[in-house]
Amino acid sequence: MAEGNIEMKGDYFGSTSRRAFLQQFVTLSASSTVLAVAPWVNLLRAEELNYGSSSSTVRIGVVGVGSRGQALLLRLLKIPYIRVVAVCDNYDINYDRALKITENGATGYRDYRRMIDAGNLDGIVIATPLAEHAHITVDALNAGLHVFCEKAMARTLDSIQKMRVAHEQTGKILQIGLQRLFDPSYLHAIHQIHLGEIGEVTQVRAYWHRNSDWRRPVPPGSDLETKINWRLYRETSAGLVTELATHHIQVANWIFGDIPTRVMGSGRIAYWQDGREVYDHIALIYDYPQGRQLLYDSMTNNAKYGLEAQILGDKGTIEVEAMKGFSEAPSPPTPGILQLINNIREKSFSVLPIGGASWVPELASTDLGENMSQGNYDSTLMSLEAFAMSIRRNEIIPGLFREGYHTSVAALLGEQAMDTGTTVRWSQEYTIPTNSVNEYGASHS
Amino acid sequence: MGTRMDIVLPGLSEDFGTELSSVIARQIEEVEQSLSVYRTDSGVSKLNRLFRGSGSIVIDDAFLFDALEFSSDAYRMTKGYFDIAYGGSGNFGQVCLDRKNQRIEVERPGIRLDFGALGKGLAIDKARACLECAGIDNGLISFGESSILALGCHPLGESWPLGISHPEKSAEFVHVFQITDASLTVSSTLRNGSDGSCTMHSHIKNPFTGQLVDEAKTVAVVAKSAAIGEVLSTSLVVALDGEQRDIVENANISEAVSIVFEGSGMEKQRSWRKVILK
């Protein structure tokens, strides 16, 4: 059954905005350069995402329904061919809220093992604190379930490796939640870069500046500080590098079509002297082959500059979060002025023609396109649909796991660099090679 | 002001020309920061927001205050045809300026100000001052080819030859100015499209009758001050024929030409009639 024949559930997003979003993928799938770096685009073209009959409903359990988990749950509930069968959280407030969101349509669990053992699932979505990602993922994969695991994959390199091994050995889907991989804005930018529009790209500069203590409220008198504010403590979090930097490390890997060779950096607690253990200021330099670099910084007491990834080429610049492109070449003069300049050069004394009313000129910057988040439909929704679609097709999307894996490794190597004050080299054991001609590879010496 | 600026400085080294262009750009930036409605944090944008709630406001932006005083003088000089106010039930005649206290008072809140064309003229005048300070004798600065400073002369002549093109036949000039050390300002109810078409730009209203100007008209003014040129050209394009001469009579301008194009707009070649006002 085609999409248009299915009644969309709820009003979180309209079918119109979803169609408009997917139409971008139809356009993007015509680009061989986009397909080379994002082969999933071909799978996500509108005609591929037909909902089919109810027998191909995908049954999902969500583990970890805190802030991010809720956002994922709300989106999952709006995808007609996904049925959220179970929700799991060991924190009462989250547990109660999750059941309420599903209008008690899902079964509630406080222990993910019981959720898995209950069966009746095709896959799970994991949005727990970082340190819990690995064992839940491995257990689920070994139980025959497919897994969507939020970034940044796991707390330690060892855990990341365990997840990789389980994924490879079970052959089950493991998709890491990095939604820019599904963002048409980014795909358009990559397309233009590969067309040579900004020339040779040697540097990506990314930053994420916020002004907030990053704390979540803790019930007074409770001992839940480290549980609720897990992001602030080293046992459970690497802080800004895993929670924020991973997004743009992934982008840089994608832009360069490569993985870093080494990383150096500095992390400090400069402002929030509140007992936290993670840095509130980080600055990282990732070196890539052929001399290219990612410069990244993040801090949490000034939000003036916000969030951006600047892609710098010898012919132009792309600010991809703002969807702006800039040319290094000066803008050409207006026609009358151009004629004047040519006349002067040719030693011709001619009248300069003046046109009609003032006109709005072509600006130095050009928009790369419309904001691709159409209405409420967004790249996170797309990433979840991709997960569900690959479950229905029983196909692992080529290249997708490698993106999430390499990014997660790079983030933790960055943490090491900051902690030790040394340059940390990428070890070959962390490289997933290219498997087919459709997958772009990561090769470096 | 949402308009492109071109700077032509013949005979200079690239370094010096680039440096001068940067200086001029910084001067224009100051004008923008005070007068551009395209910027939400400009002086005029802040003022427009304050006007919603209050009729009496202190202005700490000196350049903005000067521009308001200029606008007030221009309103009187053009008998109300030049009016930077719009919105609410306001016109600039109801504005009172208190220079001593740097205060503006309006009778009815809800008024909004748009410096639009005047901003370009003020910017050109600032740019001219930059060039003269730098000892530049010859140069041309064009804002969207509708506000043009012609300093000194063309390298091959004794003036800058600037011609008003026929809207549909750009090689035909309906009038040619030979300008030295002055600015040319053009206002028109016609707008050229990027496809070469020419249509009426029907947003200009007569402030007294409230009617849209329905003539295809272009007015060009030459004046030492581009700001005054802007005031006159904007007013003259709106003013009725009989009132135009009154407006130019005491104005500090050197030339003014009004050209009315006749034809349906669907014809390929409009005929035209020209009146030399000064």
Nearest CB partner across the interface for A357, out of B160, B165, B190: B190
Nearest CB partner across the interface for B155, out of A331, A344, A358: A344
The residues with which A377 forms a beta bridge, in sequence order, are none
Mean pLDDT of A250-259: 93
What is the model's pLDDT at position B192? 64
What is the model's pLDDT at position B40? 84
H-helix or E-strand spanning residue B173? strand B173-179
Mean pLDDT of A149-164: 96
Which range has the worst mean pLDDT, A139-148, A340-349, B193-202? B193-202
Which range has the worst mean pLDDT, A67-81, A200-214, B1-15, B139-153? B1-15
Longest dimension (CA), chain B: 57
Answer with the residue of higher pLDDT: B97 or A373: B97
Quote the pTM value.
Answer: 0.69
pLDDT tens per residue across span A290-333: 999 999 999 999 999 999 999 999 999 999 888 788 888 877 77
* Average pLDDT along chain B: 84
Taking a C-beta distance cutoff of 8 angstroms, is the pair B150, B181 a contact?
Answer: yes
> Rounded to the nearest 5°, which phi and psi values hold at A295?
-105, 130
What is the model's pLDDT at position B65? 93
**How many angstroms away from the CA of A360 is the closest CA of chain B?**
5
Q: Which residues of B touch A354 (CB under 8 A)?
A: 145-146, 148, 162-165, 184, 186, 220
The residues with which A263 forms a beta bridge, in sequence order, are A286, A424
Indicate which of B3, B4, B140, B177 best probes the interface with A, i.e. most A CBs within 10 Å of its own CB.
B4
Asked whether this complex has an ipTM greater than 0.85, the answer is no
Q: Which residues of A touch B152 (CB under 8 A)?
A: none
pLDDT tens per residue across span B62-114: 899 999 999 999 998 888 888 888 765 557 888 889 989 999 988 776 788 88
Residue with tokens 């100015």: B177
pLDDT tens per residue across span A27-58: 888 888 888 888 888 777 755 566 554 458 99
On whether any CB of chain B is under 8 Å from the CB of A332, the answer is no
Indicate which of A304, A337, A347, A351 best probes the interface with B, i.e. most B CBs within 10 Å of its own CB.
A351
* Average pLDDT along chain A: 85
Distance CA A381, CA A377 (A): 7
Q: Under an 8 A CB cutoff, do A356 and B192 touch?
A: yes
For residue A444, what pLDDT band results from cuts at 50, 70 and 90?
Answer: very low
Which range has the worst mean pLDDT, B162-171, B248-257, B264-273? B264-273
Taking a C-beta distance cutoff of 8 angstroms, is the pair B275, B257 a contact?
Answer: yes
